[in-house]
Every structure is written in structure tokens, then in C-alpha cells.
Chain A
């Protein structure tokens, strides 16, 4: 399609949206389309896909609710007239399955992991991403999948209390309670923990996957009396603020907040952190329809908005174009800035999609008293 035609269609689409919202009448719409040399498809009085009354975006709560509403939501409403509502109750895989199977989906887009997107896609619980609306070029290769696209980056980074260490600790130090006494914290729902254990045990970064779980669990067991587990991001933050732990394997979004709130007492290292690609997914039978869900995702690909969200709560932009637009300080906080990403292990989403359930059960069995 030539760019001019695309532009014309876009004008027509804007006219159609205005029509749908009642800002112009049918006659004006037809006139606008005639002027553009296009014939709109009028279905039961509505032009193009029916305009939904809202887009519901599900994520994991906290600052993400206001950040997504104020940044992507405001931009989307300005562009399409459709307001976005953010539901922070947590789109867990089981909840999505229950909604889709009982035909009672209330979410249009969910904040998930690429590996969860792969799992749910294979279980036929998602709507395929429409790459005529979502732009592949705005996503770092190869993180575009049939049922999921890279939404943002986050990392499990070694976060530590600088008053307890001379230099920057490594995973080897994390698993050495003789050298550095004190409690450590890891994620109760496992991700990041077995990887760190294997790296500490001497496995080179490129051989961490597929995980040798026996070896990882043995390593974790060796310090089990000194580990307390965090189940939510807020909990990991509290543990550092209350000085219950000297180091932790926690989300970098929380580490950056901790660094700010403690005046630098707590900080983190990108070295050997485990970077996870997060996903946007569209659950089956989403209420606003596939087109608008895809348009919502396309809206969230805007690099400037992605940087605004990074500033708002630390979510790392997925659009590579954002990197050149960042200040050095923003780059320092971004997990996927090349200088940070090259120091990290990127989680193997295929591995997790295949083994997540077995490995999680194995992990929970092992850490339980």
C-alpha cells in the first residue's frame, strides 16, 4: 500500500471515528470520504469496527495502574476517543483461562510474560496479534509471536545494601553466607531464582537454559535458612526498607525506587541480572473486539510514551527507537539499553513456556519447610 493511500485511509478512519462518536453526521462522513476518494464500509450504521465504549487493560497493580492510565490511556483516548480503564487485579493464567472458557472475558489486553503468552496461545485462550495494526518494526527482534508481543522489559537484578558490602556483590556472594552473613530474599514464584543459583554455581550464562533444576535447588537449599521469599514487589521493597535483608534477587523496578527512597543506601547491579521480556496479550473474546485491542497495543508502541512510562515506574521500553531518545540517566535505568542488556542473561521464554508448571511445582516443593 502506498503511503498516500494509507494517509487517506487514516483521514477516513478519523472521520469515521468522529461519526461513530456523533461528532459529525452521516452526511458529513460520506462527504469527507467522497472528497478523499474512498467509500467507507458502513455496517449497521457504524463505520469500520464498532467503537467500543472502553478498553480494559489488566496489569499487576501498584503504580502501574496510574502510570498506564495517565500515559497510554490518555494518549489512546485522544487518538480514538475510547477511554482506557486499567484493572490492577493481576491477569494470572488461571484467571484468563477461566474467563475465556466461560465466555466471560472482561479484559481487552493483559500485561503478561512472553512465556505465559506462549502457554496461553497454545491452549487456544488468546486472540492472535494482528501485525497489520501492531508494528513489528517497533519491537526488538525476535520478540513478536503469534499470540504475544514484547510489551516491556524487566529484570531480576541483584539488589544490595551498600553499607554491608565493599564492592559490588555477585551471585557467588549471594550464595556465600559465611562471607556475607544476613538474610537474602528471592522471588517466591521462582523466576530468576534458579537462574541465579546456577550462575553462582559456575554455569556460564549461555548454558543456564535448559535449567539443571536438581543442581539449582541444591544450591538454593545450601542457604535455605538465610533466605526469605518475597511474593509481591511491594514486599521485596519493605524487606530492604526494614533492613530485614542485605541483598535480594528482585525486580529492577523496585530496586530503582529503593535507590531513590534510601538515598543510594540500596542499589542494584545489571551484571548477571536475568532480563525477562514481558508481553501484551489479548484474551479470547475480549469485550472491545480484536481490532481495538490491537490498536491499543499499537498505541503502547509509541517510544516517547514508553519513555514516559519508564520515568513513571521503571518499565523498560520495548521499542528500540526509544533508546536513542533517552537521557543517560534513563538509559541507566532501562534493562534493555544495549550496555545493560549485554551484561544480563535473557530469560528463555521457550524453555519457560514448555516447563513452567513442572519447574514451579518442583521449586515450591523444595523451598517449603
Chain B
């Protein structure tokens, strides 16, 4: 679907809504969201410009505080690399899912969804148990004579990536798979028939057709990684502090609510901006399963 069609669709919907009495049915939910979500958000915003004094002093720190800049740098670096890895592996899995038999597809879906439902905490601790210096994996490596010294796989940045990529792969696979299902398999056959090799027909035909799904899934994964807290805290050995944990420290420990809420507002604005950009490129409603 093209952008023009998508926006026309949304516009049409709006006109329909105004006249639709069923709209009243969502009013209670809207009231709930406004009172429990919008109002507290406004309070958070207020704290960010009023604690300790009224003004943009807290926002200035986004540019001047070395510590905050470093933390933001770490956050974006970890999120970008995680997104890249999750998209790479997710694409392969989704591609396979789109091309195997129904029975295999069901099985693959199961293997993707089961860890998806396991709590983030349980997953992080499982990785820790498997991968720590005297865990099963390192024991096996030593027993087979592959290494003498333990390979440090957790309590460092490698551990953070393992935990986060593993967590994000289902989020990459599902929208990618949805996008790939829409691609007419005959176009690849046509490319082959017209003389393109297997790689060329993928590179020049299949990949561009899956690009909206790729971008959509990428933005989705990136946005979700921005909020990671537990996984880096457990698997990073205390040395990878991302924005969510930093906010928690400022709220709960140093009690600098101004800075904490400023960072929370900044994070929210970044996410909204990304969603806005994404909505111009891909069909958001389709991506999140509204169709």
C-alpha cells in the first residue's frame, strides 16, 4: 500500500468516526487514559521544568552534562547495534517462515512465541546461569578443550547484546513475516525467468519489496530497546547503564526528580518523533495488526 492510500484511508476513517454513535463506547476508555496516563504525564513534564527551579535548566544538561551525554551515547549505541542484530537474525527467520510448509511454520512460530511469553527477568537470569564463567557453556568449552580460560560472555557488553537481541527477535520476526506474506512469490519466479540469479532476484526484487516491513520492524525494535532496564542491569555486570535505569537512579536514589523527569520526557519525545516519521513511510495500522 502506498503512503497516499494509507493517509487517504486514515482521513476517511476520521470523517466516519465523527458521525458514528459507537464512538461513545470508547469514551470510558478515553477518560481512563486521560486521567491515568495523560494527566500523570503532564505532571512529569511539569516536574522536568520546575524542579529545582522553573526553567529549562534540566534540559540544558542534555547538552552540557558529560555524564548524561555519555549515558545517552551508550543507550543509542547499544540500541542501534541490538536493532541491527535483531533485524538480521529476524529477517532470516521470517524469510524461512514465509517459505516453509505450514507444519514447519507452526513449529517455528511456537519456538518464537514461547520465549516471547517468558518474563524478562527469568530470561536474563537464565542467560546468566548458562553463560557465566563457570556455567554450562564455559564448562563445556573447557571440557572439549576449546578454551583454557573461561570466555566472558555475561556481566559485560556481550552479555547485554545476547540478552537484548534474544529478547527482540520475536518483535522483529512477526512484522517482517507479516510483510513477507504480502509479497507475491511469483515476482521472484518472474525475476528468475527473466534471467536474474538467485542472489540478484533476492537483492533487486524480494528485498526492496520487503523494505517497508524491514523499516517498520526496525523502528519498532529500536523504540522498544530504548526502554530496556532489567536485561542490561543483570547481564551487563553493572557497567552498562541505559536511560531507563539512569532515570530510575535519579528518581529513587539521588532524588533529582527534575533530571529524571527531563530524561523521561526526552525519551518520550524521541519515541513519538520516530513513530511520526515511521507513519509516513509504512502503514502503522497494518504493522500493529489493526487490519
Contact = CB atoms under 8 A, between A and B. Distances in A.
Q: How large is the interface on B (under 10, 10 to 19, 20 to 34, 35 or more residues)?
A: 20 to 34
Nearest to A123: B255
Interface in A336-369: 356-357, 360-362, 364-365, 367-369
A224 B155 CA distance: 12
Contacts of A173: none
Nearest to B242: A368
Interface string B220-243: 000000000000010011111100
B133 A364 contact: no
Nearest to A228: B237
A302 B246 CA distance: 40
B254 A244 contact: no
B67 interface: yes
A359 to B, nearest CB: 9
A207 B153 CA distance: 39
Interface string B56-77: 0000000000110011001000
A265 interface: no
Contact of B74 (A224, A357, A369): A369
A62 B67 CA distance: 33
B253 A368 contact: no
A360 B241 contact: no
Residue with the highest number of chain A CB atoms closer than 10 Å, among B233, B239, B254, B255: B255
A300 B135 CA distance: 42
A262 interface: no
A244 B156 CA distance: 13
A205 B66 CA distance: 31
B254 A356 contact: yes
B166 interface: no
A141 to B, nearest CB: 29
Given A243-B133, A364-B67, A365-B70, A357 B254 contact: yes
Contacts of A368: 70-71, 74, 239-241
A360 B239 contact: no
A36 interface: no
Contacts of B257: 94, 97
Nearest to B248: A94
B134 interface: yes
Contacts of A231: 233, 238
B256 interface: yes
A360 B233 contact: no
A180 interface: no
Given A228-B237, A242-B135, 15 more contacts: A93-B252, A93-B255, A94-B251, A97-B257, A188-B238, A228-B239, A229-B238, A231-B238, A243-B133, A243-B134, A244-B133, A357-B256, A361-B254, A365-B70, A367-B239
Interface of A: 92-95, 97, 119, 123, 183, 188-189, 224, 228-231, 242-244, 356-357, 360-362, 364-365, 367-369
